Amino acid sequence: MQVGDLVRLGIGGIQQFRVVEIEDTGAMVEPTLKAPGAYPFRMRLVDLHAWTD
């Protein structure tokens, strides 16, 4: 996983997020869709899965 990658939360996640920062065991992600109240937040790397169509 690298900064800029598109990911989902969990295997069956339906929302798309972009990785904006990576640390040892976590990453800061932000939603790709701009919506009121949307903001970047931290998630564990093990909970993030690559976005595939």
Question: What pLDDT, on the 0 to 100 scale, is given for residue 34?
Answer: 87
Confidence of residue 12 (pLDDT cuts 50, 70, 90): confident
Question: What pLDDT, on the 0 to 100 scale, is given for residue 27?
Answer: 97
Mapping DSSP to helix (H, G, I), strand (E, B) and coil, where does residue 31 land?
strand
Identify residue 36 by its one-letter amino acid code: P
Its pTM surpasses 0.85: yes
Percent of the chain with pLDDT over 70: 100
Distances (CA, A) of 23 to 1, 2, 28, 29, 53: 11, 11, 8, 12, 26
Q: Scanning the structure block, which residue is given the tokens 């640390």?
A: 23
Question: Phi and psi dihedrals of 22, rounded to 5?
Answer: -125, 135
